Structure 1
Amino acid sequence: MQPTAVSEPIRRRIMQRRGRMRVFTDLDPDKMALVVVDMQNVFCQPGGALEIAPSRETAGNINRLAAACRRRNIPIIWIRSYHQPGGADWRMFFDYFITPERGAMAAQQLTERDPGSAIYSEMHVEPTDYVVNKIRYSCFIPGSSNLERLLRSLERDTIILCGTRSNVCCESTARDAMMLDFKVLFVSDGTSAMSPAEHQATLDTLAQSFADIVTTDEVLKDIQ
């Protein structure tokens, strides 16, 4: 079970700094979008080349949020990591941060037509949802994806962020989103890391300077 709250020492620090835990008091559901990062077979299916087993525990909460967002006409955007054959579009990662054998398997499962790159089979995706491909951890750095352009075109300034891994793609995306002036609701029980310690570190870091840390139930109240 992964943590869902900011740790007590960080909570005390935040209260001293700004006097409240929740950052945003002016949320407007009509300005929100649900962004689900990397809930794909390669990460979520048992035996996937880059399996993150705790990601499967978050599928139910993400589906709950997606259903509620559809009822409120809040756009749902599924983010897929996607790479050219052999990982040719990100040599830095595939040459240095993973073994050649595992890198070859991961690169194959992240290509367009491989089942590994598909959205995880337990996720409830509807034809009206958006699917956006990215080629870097963050959705927002130049050249990674068209997510920023899509959000601006939809006139959305608030992101409900779910997915995996908390401390890699989700955290990278949350940091950049805040610095591009998006409000970020980081769903603590709708994101996952390889270990509770890594997940906790992300919650503690983001809460201080980048995002509201919220549970699924809190988001459901926010969008009513």
Structure 2
Amino acid sequence: MKTASVPWIFSKKSAVLIVVDMQNDFVREGAVMEVPMAREFLPQMKRLVETCRKHEIPVLFTSHVLYDHYDVSPLETAYNPVLQQKGMRASTDGIQIVSELEPQPDEHVIHKHRYDAFYNTQLETLLRNVRGPHVVDTVIIIGTVTNICCESTARSAFMRDFKVVFVSDANGGLDSESHQATLNIISKVFGRVMATEELIEEIVEKNDR
């Protein structure tokens, strides 16, 4: 049942958490594509991952991967020339999910080569089946970078008729202006923007949904 204040009601029974690109090459201090806000928001992300695991909400991870032997994402590296030489290289520690959020053995890590985590990956297939056929209708998005991979994935989820929860203090942006711009546009037309505490309350206290 809809209310006047929200377009749809969150249900943990049909949700999946997607952790976008929380890799060493984005998060660690001095990393080639360092995003300090992603590191700042790690405690909130960790709480959400742990809460989802406790309440049996599946957790999926994405990892952005580039290669040394050929340029798998030429437009991306054209805009970011440093990536032509280093960063997010396959088989390096840089593509690994940070230890604070380390995936469990039964959790999937989806390797991607574009900002949109749905593009040419198995993400949609996993979402359609990870809780049973056609159970999942909601994706929770946390990670980095807010206005690049996280926003691209949120828009792509919306286009596939998934409800989107975009967590305001668990997505790390390059700067506050672009971060806030993404929160504004997501909240207007692509999903529900929720803070960590608000979402945890929905998961923990509203057990009947």
DSSP 3-state at the match of 1:174 = helix
Within the candidate set 152, 164, 188, 2:128 is matched to: 152
The residue type equivalent to 1:138 in the other structure is: D
Q: State, as a whole percentage, how many aligned pairs show the same letter.
A: 33
* Higher RCO by CA contacts (8 Å cutoff, separation 6 or greater): 1
Report the TM-score, using the length of structure 1 for normalisation: 0.83
Q: Residue in 2 aligned with 1:65?
A: 48
Report the TM-score, using the length of structure 2 for normalisation: 0.89
**Residues 122-131 or 154-163, more deviating:** 122-131
Q: Residue in 2 aligned with 1:12?
A: none
The residue type equivalent to 2:160 in the other structure is: L
1:122 paired with 2:100, answer: yes
Within the candidate set 24, 33, 46, 1:50 is matched to: 33
- Does structure 1 conserve the Cα–Cα contact (< 8 Å) formed by 2:49 and 2:101? no
User: How many residue pairs align between the two structures?
Assistant: 198
Shift of 1:23: 2.6
Q: Residue in 1 aligned with 2:79?
A: 97
Shift of 1:111: 2.2
- Does structure 2 conserve the Cα–Cα contact (< 8 Å) formed by 1:29 and 1:74? yes
DSSP 3-state at the match of 2:180 = helix
Q: Residue in 1 aligned with 2:15?
A: 32
Unaligned runs of 5+ in 1: 1-17
The residue type equivalent to 2:65 in the other structure is: Y
1:176-214 superposed Cα distances (whole Å, 9 cap, x missing partner): 101100010000000011111111100001111001000
CA–CA distance in 1 between the matches of 2:185 and 2:85?
32
Q: Residue in 2 aligned with 1:163?
A: 143
Superposition CA RMSD, Å: 1.6
Shift of 1:153: 1.2
DSSP 3-state at the match of 1:162 = strand
Indicate how the Cα distance of structure 1 residues 24 and 87 shifts in structure 2: closer, same or farther if over 3 A, else same: farther
CA–CA distance in 2 between the matches of 1:126 and 1:49?
26
Shift of 1:140: 1.8
Q: Residue in 2 aligned with 1:14?
A: none
Runs of 4+ in 1 over 6 A off after TM superposition: none
Indicate how the Cα distance of structure 1 residues 185 and 162 shifts in structure 2: closer, same or farther if over 3 A, else same: same
- Does structure 2 conserve the Cα–Cα contact (< 8 Å) formed by 1:86 and 1:104? no
The residue type equivalent to 2:91 in the other structure is: R
Unaligned runs of 5+ in 2: 205-209
CA–CA distance in 2 between the matches of 1:200 and 1:166?
9
The residue type equivalent to 1:179 in the other structure is: M
